[in-house]
Amino acid sequence: MRTARIKKTAEHAPQSTERRDLAGIPACCARRKSLPAAEYETPTTPAIDRALHAFMSRLCGLSPAAAATAWFDWFAHLAISPGKQAELVQSAGEKARLFANYASMRCCGKPDCCVHPLPQDRRFDDGAWEQWPYKLYQQAFLLTEQWWQEATSSVRGVTRHHSEVLPFLTRQWLDVFSPLNYPLTNPRVVLASLEQRGLNFVKGAENYFGDLSRLASQAPPAGAEKYKVGETVAVTKGKVVYQNRLIELIQYAPATKEVYPEPVLIVPAWIMKYYILDLSPENSLVKYLVDQGHTVFMISWKNPDAGDRDLGFEDYLNLGVMEALKAINAVVPQQQVHAAGYCLGGTLLTIAAAAMARDGDARLRSVTLFAAQVDFEEAGELLLFIDESQIAFLEDVMREQGYLDKHQMAGTFQMLRSYDLVWSRIVEQYMLGNRTPLNDLMAWNADATRMPFRMHSEYLRTMFLNNDLAEGRFSVAGRAVALNDIRLPIFAVGTQRDHVAPWPSVYKIHLHTDTDVTFVLTSGGHNAGIVSEPGHPGRSYQIATRGGSDRHIAWDEWQKRMPAREGSWWTAWQAWLDKHSGKKTRPPAMGAPRQGYAVLRDAPGDYVFVQ
C-alpha cells in the first residue's frame, strides 16, 4: 500500500489512520459475508449476457458493475457529508501551501521535505530524485496520492469492502501519472538519454517489439530459453509411477544408502507448475530432501483445458491427494506419510487431513504447510477482487472458455504489485533499454497454468467469499469437516512479504487446530521465501512451537517475542521431520508393478509440458 506520509507538525492536516499489518496489507482487508453461493450452472442466464461479460473481461479484467458500485457508494456518502467535504478542501489547501512553500524554499536552500514515502515504497529510492526539479515532481505526486487516500478511505457510511477497493483502484489510476513513468520526469531516463544520446530508446524499442512478438506467438519471455524443464530445471532423478486424468505422481530416486521409513508427499498448488520446488539443483527443495535421506513423492498437476471444465474441488481432493496416498501406500507399504502442501495445495491438504481424521484414516504422520491459508477472513489484497459481482462476472468468462486463462490470472497479480511487475518493467526495459536477466524462479513464474471453471468457482465462493472451511461449513463426500479434528503435528511456514497469503492469515492455523503447531516466519515473499535454500544470502527466520494445550499468542506479539535466526528454514524443517520420523532403513523400490503402479516414464513426466 503506497501512500505518502506527511511530516508531523501541529499545523498539518490530519493524516489517514489506516492500520496496516506487517506484510503491508491493510488490517481492514477482511472477508465480506456474501449472499448464498450461486448454483454452479445458471441456465436461465441469457447467453447474450454471458457473451458480453466475457468480452468486457478481455478489455478490462474487472467487473465494471463492481467498480461503479464502489464509486457510487463513495460519492453518494461524500455528497451528503458537508463536513467531510470541508475537511478534504482544507487538506487540499494545506497540501498546496506546503508544496508552494517547499518549492519557494528550494530555490534558497535545501528545505526539509513536506512529505515522505512510506518505508515500503521503493519507487523513489534512487538518489537522483533528490535533485531539482525531480524532487518537486516527487513531492507533488506523493501529496496528490496522499490526498486521494484520505478522500477515498475515510468517508463514513461507505461499506467496508468499498472503502478498501476505492483506495486500491485510485492508486492504480494515479500510478499512470507517476513521474517515474515519463522520460522527461524520470531522472534516470534523462541521464541515460544524455549519456547514450538516445540509444537507450532504440534498445527499448527493440525490447518492446521483441516482447510484443513473443506475446503474439505465446512464446516465453526473453531469457527463459536458458531454463528448460528436464534439462536445467526439474532435473532431480525420478520416475512417474502413477497417472490419472488430473495428476502424475513422481517418485524421486534415493540419493543415500538408507532413508527414513516415512515417505514425504508434496502437494503443490495447481495454479503453478510443480517444479518451483525442484528448480536448479542448487535451490531444489526436492533434491535437498532426497539428499537428507527422504523418499519424496511429488504431485504434478495437469494443466486443464476446456474439456476439464467440470472438474470440481472434490475432484482435486480425490484424484489428487487421495489417489497419490493410495499409490504411495502401495510403493511404501505399512508406513505413514509426511504430507506437505504449498499455497492452494496446502489448503487442499488440510482439507484432506481433516476428512481423514473425521473418517479414522491414520495414513498421515504429519502435515506441513508452505504459505497456505485455512482461514480467509483476512486474506489480504486478493479480497479486493472478491465480491458477488466480480465472481459472477468471472464465472461468465470461465463458463465460455471452460477455464480461467493464465493471462487473466497474471493480470490480477500484476495489479497487486503494479509498480514491481508493470511500471518498473516499462521504465527499465523500454525507456532505459535494459534487459533484466531472468533467473530460474522468474522463468518458472512465466510458465503459468489455467484453472478449471467449476473448481475455481467453488474455491472462490467457499473459501474467499464464505470462508466455509474455517467456519465449519465445508463438506467432503457430503459431510462437514472440522480442522480441529486434526491431531497430527503441523509445521507451518509464512513469509514476511507475502501478498498472496499474508503471514498473519497463515498464522491463524493456531486458532483452528488443537495440536502441536511449529510456526516459521521467514524472510522473502510468497515464492522466494519458500525457495530459500541453505547458503542463500540474506535469509533469516523465526520459529516456535505451540503445544495443543498452550495459550494462544497473537501474531504481532509472536513476532516481537521470537528471536531471528540467520540462514534457511529448510534446516529447521529437516530437524523437525527427523524428530517425527523413525530409524532409517533401506530405500523402497521405484514403483510397485505388482500392485498396479509400474514405472511409466522418467521425471519430470508429461503433464509439466502441457501449455
- The catalytic residues are 343
If one counts every other C-beta atom within 10 angstroms of the C-beta of residue 198, the result is: 11
Among positive and negative, which fits the CA dihedral 542, 548, 552, 555? Answer: positive
User: Residue 53 CB: number of other CB atoms within 10 A?
Assistant: 21
Residue 6: beta bridge partners?
A: 115
What's at 436, amino acid-wise?
Answer: T
Beta-ladder partners of 493:
370, 520
Would you mind telling me the total number of residues written for the chain in this entry? 611
- How do 296-301 and 247-252 pair as beta strands? antiparallel
Report the candidate in 313, 301, 363 with the shortest Cα–Cα distance to residue 338.
363
Helix and strand element counts for the chain (H, E): 21, 17
Instruction: Report which of 413, 427, 450 is spatially closest to residue 201, judged by C-alpha positions.
Output: 427
Output the CA–CA distances (angstroms, integers) from residue 218 to 186, 213, 273, 366, in the order listed. 32, 8, 17, 41
CA-based Rg of the chain, rounded to a whole angstrom?
Answer: 26
User: Could you please report the per-residue DSSP string of 173-237?
Assistant: HHHTT-GGGSTTT-HHHHHHHHHHTTHHHHHHHHHHHHHHHHHHHTPPPTTGGG--BTTTBS-S-
With a CB cutoff of 8 Å and minimum separation 6, the contacts of 222 are: 207, 210, 211, 214, 435, 438
Q: Helix, strand, or coil here: 500?
A: coil
Instruction: Calculate the CA dihedral of residues 598, 601, 606, 608 and round it to 10 degrees.
Output: 90
3 Cβ contact list (under 8 Å, min separation 6): 16, 18, 118, 145, 146, 149, 167, 171
C-alpha 303/C-alpha 310 separation (Å) is 14
Spatial neighbors of 497 by CB under 8 A, at least 6 apart, are 23, 24, 523, 524, 525, 529
Question: In sequence order, which ranges of 484-592 are alpha helices (DSSP H)?
Answer: 503-506, 509-512, 555-561, 569-579
Name residues whose C-beta falls within 8 Å of residue 499's C-beta, 6 or more positions apart in sequence. 23, 24, 25, 380, 381, 382, 413, 416, 417, 525, 526
Strand bridging mode 475-476 / 479-480: antiparallel
